[in-house]
């Protein structure tokens, strides 16, 4: 109940194009889970996956973090369709590689169309790769958003703003 604003930076709301089937298969081949976890969860996963409407390629094995980032993930689709809770303001900082068209471009990991959300207070495009959080323009945008947020919460932020002004 205390959250009033969220700032999304490089957020793949609808998954990443890098999590295509071959990437998920490669990840499963290279990365393994602890044996005791697999033994405990495999029978439970079989029961759960038979009840869920998962794509066929996700039913046989317990999902990994890469599976969760797939644009085919029903969980990602459901979460992306959920509206923000009332009273929460959102801002997006979306990186797009410099040589690409914004609407059809990507940051090397996430496409603009996956990161874009309707109804945000602001959407700021940074011409960089997926690690936008370290880009000076993204940092300045976060600062701008936080100052705007503090204007709406003067009692909480007054000390911070006066310290920064000095």
CB 83 within 8 A of CB 17: no
For residue 156, what are its two tokens? 């909480």
Residue 70 and residue 16: Cα distance in Å, rounded? 6
For residue 84, what are its two tokens? 């923000």
Predicted TM-score of the model (pTM): 0.71
CB atoms within 10 A of CB 84: 14
The per-residue pLDDT for 111 is 94
Q: What is the dihedral of CA 71, 77, 79, 80, to 10 degrees?
A: 80
The per-residue pLDDT for 114 is 93
Radius of gyration of the chain (CA): 20
146, pLDDT greater than 90 = yes
106 CB contacts (<8 Å, ≥6 apart)?
Answer: 17, 96, 97, 100, 112
> pLDDT of 17-67, one tens digit each?
877 666 666 666 666 555 444 545 556 666 666 666 666 666 666 666 666
> pLDDT of 92-142, one tens digit each?
999 999 999 999 999 999 999 999 999 999 999 999 999 999 999 999 999
**3-class SS at 27?**
helix
For the chain, the first-to-last Cα distance in angstroms comes to 33
Which long-range contacts link 148-151 to residues 24+ away (Cβ below 8 Å)?
149/4, 149/5, 149/89
């Amino acid at each position: 109940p205390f959250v009033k604003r969220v700032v999304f930076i490089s957020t793949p709301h609808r998954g990443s194009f890098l999590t295509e089937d071959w990437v998920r298969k490669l990840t499963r081949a290279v990365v393994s889970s602890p044996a005791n976890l697999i033994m405990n969860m495999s029978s439970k996963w079989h029961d759960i996956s038979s009840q869920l409407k998962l794509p066929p390629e996700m039913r046989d094995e317990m999902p990994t973090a890469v599976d969760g980032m797939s644009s085919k993930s029903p969980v990602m689709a459901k979460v992306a369709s959920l509206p923000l809770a009332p009273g929460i303001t959102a801002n997006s900082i979306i990186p797009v590689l410099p040589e690409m068209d914004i609407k059809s471009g990507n940051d090397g990991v996430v496409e603009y169309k996956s990161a874009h959300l309707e109804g945000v207070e602001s959407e700021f495009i940074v011409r960089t790769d997926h690690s936008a959080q370290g880009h000076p323009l993204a940092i300045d945008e976060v600062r701008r958003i936080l100052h705007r947020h503090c204007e709406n919460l003067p009692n909480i932020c007054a000390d911070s703003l006066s310290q920064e002004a000095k």
